[in-house]
Each structure stands twice: as structure tokens, then as C-alpha cells.
Amino acid sequence: MGETTARNLANVFGSIEAFQQSTFEDLISVSDIGPRVATKIVDYFCNIENIASVEKLVPCLSIINPNIETSNQDMKFFGLQIAITGKISPMSRDEVKNLLLSEGAKVTSSISKKTNYLIAGENAGSKLEKAKNLGVIIVDAVDISTFINDPKKFS
């Protein structure tokens, strides 16, 4: 499972305990979780040894549970898919990504017809060309602060 899927699961279930007790139906209702992944998760938590491993691992981790009290509609980037490419400054890529995620964006590493925005830094390369061909809105990295504060200016 990748970072985006893990984040989606964390946002829906809020805790490892709730995630462990989820059903197949609970899981397939989560964005990006299909029947195959849902089955693998359910099967994983049916195994006593796997549960024991998770119980040993969790105390060793510094888990920050998502803030599930925040309304999704209050998030600036809720429902938007945003990709980042090239060298970003004055913020790091991770800082930009975390800011976008905290405001509800789905941050991806690739461009598709589902991508709403591409944040393009120095040496953007092939992702920039693909975004242009697909009609994705391109935000120059120098405008990142403006975009984060008021994304509607870029619609």
C-alpha cells in the first residue's frame, strides 16, 4: 500500500484499532480502495500472527492521528488532485506537499486527466508537457504562496 492509500485509510478510520476492525464493505467505500486491496487488508487482520506483529509495532511508532473533526468542505483543496514537479523554492517539496495534504488535496506523483493542478518548479520536464497537453492548470512555483493562500485565483 502506498502513502496516498494509507493517508486515505487514516483519514477515514482515524485509528489503527478502527482500521483493524474494518469490514470489506467499510474498506471499499474508501477512495482508491478496490475489492482486491480490501480483501488483502481483511485477510491480513484475520491472521493472529499479523495482529500480534502490529500490536508490537504500534508502540514503537510516533503516530499522528488525522484531525477528523475538520469538515472536508472547509479545506481549500478538498477534492482536488495536485501534482508537483521540478525544483520548488522557497519551500521544499515536502513542505508544499504537507501543506496541500493538510488542506484536503490529493497529491500525486503523476499527471492524468484527473489532475486539477500541476505545481511546476525549475526543470519541470515531461510532466509539464503532459499537463499542457491535458489542459491541466499550471501553477509556477514562484506563485506557490499565492496559490496556497487563494487557489481560486488560479481557476
Reported as a single tens digit per residue, the pLDDT across 62-90 is: 776 555 555 555 788 888 999 999 988 87
Predicted local confidence at residue 102, as pLDDT = 82
Residue 12, pLDDT > 60, answer yes
Domain boundaries, given as residue ranges, for the chain = 3-60, 72-154
CB atoms within 10 A of CB 155: 7
Residue 95, pLDDT > 70, answer yes
What homologous superfamily does CATH list for 3-60?
5' to 3' exonuclease, C-terminal subdomain (1.10.150.20)
Q: What are the angstrom distances between the C-alpha of 73 and each of 80, 97, 104, 105, 117? A: 12, 19, 9, 12, 19
What homologous superfamily does CATH list for 72-154?
BRCT domain (3.40.50.10190)
